[in-house]
Amino acid sequence: MTRTCLITTLLCAAVLLGGCTGVKSYEREMLADPLMSFSRDPVSDMYIDHVYDVREGARGATTTQGGGCGCN
Amino acid sequence: MSLRNVHKTAVFTLAMLIATVASQAAMPAIGSAAPDFTLKSGTGKNLKLSEHRGEVVMINFWATWCGPCRQEMPLLNRIHEKYRKAGFTLLGVNIDDNSANALAMAKKLGVTFPILFDAEKRISRLYDVDGMPSTVLIDRDGKVRYIHRGYRAGYEDLYEMQIRELLKQ
Amino acid sequence: MRYGVCAVCALAGLLAWPTVQAAVLPEDRTDLMYHQYSGGNVTVTGPALLVRKSAGDTVSVSGRYYMDSVSSASPDVVSGGSPYRDKREEFGLGVDVLHGSSLITAFLSSSRENDYLADTYGLNVAHELFDGLTTINLGYSQGRDVVQRVDTSFEAGVSRYNIRLGLSQVLSKSLLLGLSYEGISEDGFLRNPYRSARILGAFSEEIYPGTRDSQAVSIRLIKGYASDGRPVGSSLRGEYRYFRDNWGIRSDTLGLAYQQHFGPRWLAEFRYRYYQQSAALFYSDNFLTEMTYMARDKELSTFHSHTIGMKWSWAIPKQNILFFERASLNFAHDYVFFSYDDYTNVFTGQLYSFGANVLQLFISAWY
C-alpha cells in the first residue's frame, strides 16, 4: 500500500514540476550535451549492466534494456 | 492506498496539468508588430530588424546543439538565395553561449544568410521562443504573419509558399 | 497489474495531448567492443557490436551482436554450476519510430548457448511533455526461454514478463532527474539444472519455486558544470536502486560517477558502486534438513560488493576518421570486490570473497 502511495506521489510531483521548472527552449544547451545523458555509451552500459545482472539477485530499473540469458 | 484515492490524485494531477499548460507564456501574436531589436552579426556589424522594413523577413532561431536546426539550415539557405533579389531577408539568430562555435557551424553548413548572435538570450526572451528551431515570418509592414516551431521534412516547402504570398503583398 | 492498467490509460491520454516540442531519434552510431571479465576463477571474453542508422527523418534501425566466451574453474562450477557452458551469442534488432512527440521502439533479442535459448521481444513508448522538459516512458516485454542440459535430454521452459515505467525530468538548466520502475514476473524452470544444494554436507538437487515476481525502483540525478569553451565541462551523477522480490531478496544499489573533459580530446569518468543484498528465503549454504525449496546459488545469498572504475575516451582527430562525423577510442576498467556473508568456498570451507577485473576496449563512430 505505501509503495503505491510513494510511486503515485513521486509521479504527480514530477508531473507538476514539469510545468513549473521554467527552463526555456533557448536555455537547453547543457542538457543536449552527452555528459548530461543517462547513457552516453549504450554498448558499454549494456555490458556492465549484464556483468552485474549475472552475478547479483537484483535486476531491472537500470538505464538499459536487458534480454534473457542462461547466465545462472 | 485505495482505488478511490488513486482516482482522486489522478484528477488533481490532470487539473494541474491543464492549469500549467494554459498559463504558459506565448510568442508574439499573429498580426502584431514584430518586436524590434539590434544584434551583432557574423560580419562584425550590428543589424537592426526595423532597417528591413519594406522587405519580407524570416527570423530563424537556431543553436549548434539542436539537431533539427542543423538539418534545416542548408534548406533555408537555398530559400534565401532564391528570393533575396525579390526583397526577402533571412536572419539566423543563434543562441549558443559560445558564438565562435556558431560561426564555425554556419560555415560548415555553407550558410550565406546573416548570422546574428544572441548569446545573452535577450531576443529569445523578447520573442519568448518556445521551441528549437523557431521560425517567424514578418511581412513588409513589420507584422508577424506566421510562426513555426520545430522542423520536419517538408516544412521548407511550406515556408516557400508563405514567403511567396508575403512577397506579392 | 492495476497500476499497469492505470499507466496504459495515462499514457494513452498523454499521447493525445498537443505539444509543441518534438522528440528526436537516437543518434546514428556504430560501436565495436572487446570485453573481458576476469575474477573468481572465471574468465569471460568476447566482442560486442552495435550498429544504428536512421532511415529518413522518423525511423531508426539498430542491430546488435554480443558474444561471451567462458572458461571457468570457480567453486560454483565444482559444486555443480554450469561446467559445460562455453559460448553464448546474442543477437538484437530494434526499430525506433518518431511520431510527433513520441518515440516508439520495438525490439527483439535472441540469446543462444548450447544448453539455453532465450528470446525476448518488447515495445517501448517514450512521450515528451511540457516542451520536452518531461519524458514519460512505458515499456512492456515478454520472453520465452528453453532450458536444457548438455549431458541429458532434459528440457524445460521459462516465461518472462517485464513492465517498465520511467520518468525523466529537467529540474534546471543543468540538473536532470530520472525515475524508473521495473516489475518482472517469471514462471517455469528458474534454476540452473547443473547446480546442487547441500544438505548436511552432501550434495542434493536444488528445488526452486515455479514463479518469481520482482520490483525495482530507481532514482538518478545528473548535475552538469559549465567550463570555458564548453557548455558542459564536467558532470556528477548519483543513482540509487531498491529491489525486492517474492523470494525474499532485498537489495540496495548505490552509484556515483564523475565525468570531466581534459583538453580538447580527452574525457575521463571515475565511478564507484556499492551493492548489498539479503538472501532468498530458501537459500542456504548448507541445509540442516530437507526443505520444500532449497537453493545454493551464491547470487541468492547475503553479500555485498564495492566497485571502483574509470573510463577514458579519446576523440580521434578529424583527419583520421574517413567519412565519420566523430569517432572516439575508449578504455574502461572496473574492479569489483564481492564479499559473501553466508556462502562458503567448497575448496577452503571459508566464507567466499573475490575480486574481479572488468575491462572494455571499444571504438565508437558517429555519422
Which one of C2, C105, C136, C235 makes the best mutation probe of the A interface by having the most chain A beta carbons within 10 Å? C235
- Domain C2-366 indexed as CATH 2.40.160.50: yes
Radius of gyration of chain A from its Cα atoms, rounded to whole angstroms? 17
Contacts of A12 in chain C (CB under 8 A): none
pLDDT at C21: 44
**CA-based max dimension of chain C:** 69
> For the stretch C108-140, what's the b/e string if a residue is b when 16 or more beta carbons lie within 10 angstroms of its beta carbon?
bbbbbbebbbbbbbbebbbbbbbbbbbbbbbbb
Instruction: From C75, C31, C13, C17, select the one nearest C340 (Cα to Cα).
Output: C75
pLDDT at B2: 63
The chain A residue lying nearest B8, using CA atoms, is A8
**Is a pLDDT exceeding 70 seen at residue C95?**
yes
- pLDDT tens by residue, C159-204: 999 999 999 999 999 999 999 999 999 999 999 998 899 999 899 9
Domain residue limits, chain A: 37-61
Place C17 in a pLDDT band, splitting at 50, 70 and 90.
very low
Question: C297 and chain A: CB distance < 8 Å anywhere?
Answer: yes
- pLDDT tens by residue, C123-166: 999 998 877 889 999 999 999 999 999 889 999 999 999 999 99
Judged by CB atoms closer than 8 Å, whether chains meet at B16 and A25 is answered as: no
For chain B, the average pLDDT equals: 87
Question: A23 and chain B: CB distance < 8 Å anywhere?
Answer: no
- pLDDT tens by residue, C31-88: 999 999 999 889 999 999 999 999 988 899 999 999 999 987 666 655 555 555 689 9
Cα C322 to its chain centre, rounded Å, is 33
- pLDDT tens by residue, B61-72: 999 998 889 889
Q: Which residues pair with C156 in a beta bridge?
A: C147
Cell of A72: 545462472
Cell of C174: 543543468
pLDDT at C52: 97
Å between C181 CA and nearest CA of chain B:
18
Å between B85 CA and nearest CA of chain A:
31
Give all chains having 3 or more CB-to-CB distances under 8 Å with chain C. Answer: A, B
Contacts of C56 in chain B (CB under 8 A): 153
**Is a pLDDT exceeding 70 seen at residue C3?**
no
- pLDDT tens by residue, B85-103: 999 999 999 999 888 889 9
Question: A14 and chain B: CB distance < 8 Å anywhere?
Answer: no
Cite the DSSP H helix spans in chain A: 2-20, 42-55
pLDDT at C325: 87
Place C16 in a pLDDT band, splitting at 50, 70 and 90.
very low
Cα C66 to Cα B5, C49, C60, C69, C72: the distances in Å are 46, 6, 20, 10, 19
pLDDT at C57: 81
Instruction: From A56, A53, B144, select the one nearest B134 (Cα to Cα).
Output: B144
pLDDT at C84: 56
pLDDT at C303: 98
Question: A22 and chain B: CB distance < 8 Å anywhere?
Answer: no
Over range C290-314, report the average pLDDT. 97
Cell of C9: 490509460
Contacts of C364 in chain A (CB under 8 A): 41, 43
Which one of A10, A48, A49, A53 makes the best mutation probe of the C interface by having the most chain C beta carbons within 10 Å? A48
Cα C13 to Cα B118, C4, C9, C98, C319: the distances in Å are 38, 14, 6, 18, 50
**Is a pLDDT exceeding 70 seen at residue A15?**
no
Give all chains having 3 or more CB-to-CB distances under 8 Å with chain A. Answer: B, C
CB contact set of C202 (below 8 Å; sequence gap of 6+) = none
Question: B139 and chain A: CB distance < 8 Å anywhere?
Answer: no
Could you give the CA distance from residue C64 to residue C30 in angstroms, rounded to a whole number? 10
Could you give the CA distance from residue B76 to residue B70 in angstroms, rounded to a whole number? 10
Helix H or strand E segment including B71 = helix B67-83
pLDDT at A54: 92
pLDDT at B164: 94
Could you give the CA distance from residue C278 to residue B72 in angstroms, rounded to a whole number? 55
Q: What backbone phi and psi angles, to 5 degrees, belong to C326?
A: -155, 150
Could you give the CA distance from residue C60 to residue B10 in angstroms, rounded to a whole number? 34
The C-alpha cell 552538469 sits at C224
Q: Which residue has the higher pLDDT, B116 or C151?
A: B116
Domain residue limits, chain C: 2-366
pLDDT at A8: 57
Whether the model clears a pTM of 0.80, i.e. scores above it, the answer is yes
Question: What is the distance between the terminal CA atoms of chain B, rounded to a whole angstrom?
Answer: 63
Local structure of residue B13 (DSSP, 8 states): H
Q: What backbone phi and psi angles, to 5 degrees, belong to C140?
A: -140, 130
Could you give the CA distance from residue C178 to residue C84 in angstroms, rounded to a whole number? 41
User: Does the model's ipTM exceed the 0.90 cut?
Assistant: yes
Cα C21 to Cα A66, B8, B151, C101, C160: the distances in Å are 29, 29, 10, 7, 36
- pLDDT tens by residue, C99-113: 888 999 999 999 999
pLDDT at B23: 47
Q: In percent, how much of chain A has pLDDT > 70?
A: 69
Question: C13 and chain A: CB distance < 8 Å anywhere?
Answer: no
Kindly state which CATH superfamily the domain B26-168 is placed in: Glutaredoxin (3.40.30.10)
Question: B20 and chain A: CB distance < 8 Å anywhere?
Answer: yes
